[in-house]
Amino acid sequence: MKKPILKKPILVIKFGTASITNVNGELDEHVISEIAKQVAEIHSHYHIVLVSSGAVAAGKAFIQNYKQTLSERKAAAAIGNTLLLNKYSHYFTPFGINIAQSLCERNHFSNRNQFLQLKKTYEKLWENNIIPIANENDVVSNVELKFSDNDELATLIAVGFNASLLLFSTSVPGVLDSNNEVIHQLDTTDRNILQLANKEKSASGLGGMTSKLTYTRLANQMGIKTIIFGIRTENGIVKAIKGETGTICKAQFCSISSKNRWLASGSLIKGKVKIDSGASQALNKRYSLLAVGVQSVIGDFEQGEVIEILNESDIAIAVAMSRISSKELNKNLKSQNFEVANANDIVLI
């Protein structure tokens, strides 16, 4: 079967609950209409994925005495998913643009085969000029395997699909300095940027600026330019793409394969190994990880599952697909020429 050729760059835009709701926590139809208008303006230039929160906010009014319990959130999401998509469809239809719903779960990204199926589905939608609107499937998502928030979902889509641009919309004009002025450009190689974020989460959503900066760093490391902008800025989406508004975070050089992009961002860590300084140096020289360099094994994992590699200071320096199980590794600690992970399946972080 012939693989579809994507003729346009991929753009992922994430809209949080706070971005698309009003002060009463209800869907702000003016914002959604503006999203449709501006996305229609750029639609011919990109393959677009919209990642939109707001299902719980749209559905909670139908739950009596709503108190934000887990079951109430799931019920509100079940109601709100339809309402949210109907609103988007209502405002996109006049521009001749069809949309599709994509309810995602964490395992769609942690399982390589499921992720590739998701990718093929999106490619088929783009072939037919349809825009997928992604959201977490809150109705069935396992609490232990949830996305931390939709900032993570948007980043996993951007990285997995090798997007050229990722936009995070916010309720403020961008990342603000101590004087509440927008920082036009940020160097995300500096870990201290996280201190710029207000530590409080938004009242309506799960994330906040800390989350956006955390996933912006990951996207930049994976070679994706990211812009954090204010959704209520006039013509904000179009201006952000042009670099005329918001906070711009430039992509870093990244030459790793698509498989290893997935490994570094989308996979679920099933266990950890702590290695000695010699093994750390070997990994930096792009050698495989051998059992002789492993000091300890943390957690249980099977052959083919993803593990995190820690240095002697307990700092994560890489992720890898294990060639052996934790049980087998524990039996062969310090063995010479016993491969734990091949160099091709190791990504330095």
Domain count, the chain: 2
Per-residue pLDDT reduced to its tens digit, 237-277: 999 999 999 999 999 888 777 777 777 776 667 789 999 99
Does any domain span residue 310? yes
Q: Please give the pLDDT value at position 218.
A: 83
Cα–Cα distance for residue pair 255/260, rounded to 1 Å = 10
Does any domain span residue 275? yes
Share of the chain above pLDDT 70, in %: 91
For residue 41, give every residue at least 6 positions away whose Cβ sits within 8 Å of its Cβ, in sequence order, or none: 238
Q: Are residues 203 and 244 in the same domain?
A: yes
Q: Are residues 24 and 126 in the same domain?
A: yes
CATH number at residue 328: 2.30.130.10
Cβ atoms of 176 and 40 closer than 8 Å: no
Q: Are residues 192 and 293 in the same domain?
A: no
Residue 199 pLDDT greater than 60, yes or no:
no
Cα–Cα distance for residue pair 48/28, rounded to 1 Å = 22
Least confident of 167-181, 186-200, 265-279, 298-312: 186-200
Cα–Cα distance for residue pair 141/136, rounded to 1 Å = 8
CA-angle at 19, arms to 235 and 142, nearest 5°: 135
3-class secondary structure per residue, 333-346: CCCCCCEEECHHHE
Boundary-marking domain end, from 200, 232, 258: 258
Does any domain span residue 264? no
Q: Are residues 165 and 308 in the same domain?
A: no
Boundary-marking domain end, from 258, 287, 317: 258
279-299 average pLDDT score: 94
Please, where are the H alpha helices in 161-267? 209-221, 236-241, 258-265
Q: What value does the CA radius of gyration of the chain take, rounded to a whole number of Å?
A: 21
- The SS3 of residue 237 is helix
Residue 203 pLDDT greater than 50, yes or no:
no
Per-residue pLDDT reduced to its tens digit, 88-124: 999 999 999 999 999 988 777 777 788 889 999 999 9
Q: Are residues 240 and 282 in the same domain?
A: no
Q: Are residues 178 and 309 in the same domain?
A: no
Q: Which two tokens stand for residue 175?
A: 């990342």
Does any domain span residue 19? yes
Residue bearing tokens 């266990």: 271
Q: What is the pTM of this model?
A: 0.80
Boundary-marking domain end, from 213, 230, 258: 258
Per-residue pLDDT reduced to its tens digit, 137-170: 877 665 544 566 788 899 989 988 999 999 999 9
- Higher pLDDT: 105 or 33? It is 33
Q: Please give the pLDDT value at position 201.
A: 43
State which residues form the domain around 340.
269-348
Closest CA to 218 of 170, 173, 256, 270: 256
Cβ atoms of 221 and 35 closer than 8 Å: no
CA 238, 77, 126, 88 torsion: positive or negative?
negative
